[in-house]
Amino acid sequence: MIEYKITEHIATISQRGEWYLELNRVKWNNGEEKLDLRAWSSDHLKCSKGITLTNGEAKTLRGALEEI
C-alpha cells in the first residue's frame, strides 16, 4: 500500500467536478518531500496519476516554462 502525507498545499490549479488539480508538497512512502502535481478528490483519499519533482527539477521546469 502506498503511503502519503500532504505536508503543504501550495495551489489549486483547476477543478472538474469533485476533483481538484493541486500543487502540493507530498511525502510518498516516508521518502523525501517533493513537489507534486496531480488531481485529488475533495477529501484527499483518492488521487490520479501525476508528477513529482525535486526542487532542482522544479527549477529546471520553471526555466523551460519561462521560455515559452
pTM reported for the whole predicted model: 0.89
Residues 50/37, Cβ–Cβ less than 8 Å: yes
Query: Model confidence at 1, in pLDDT bands (50, 70, 90)?
Result: confident
pLDDT confidence of residue 22 = 98
Give Cα 46 to chain centroid, integer Å.
Answer: 13
Cell of 16: 472538474
pLDDT confidence of residue 59 = 97
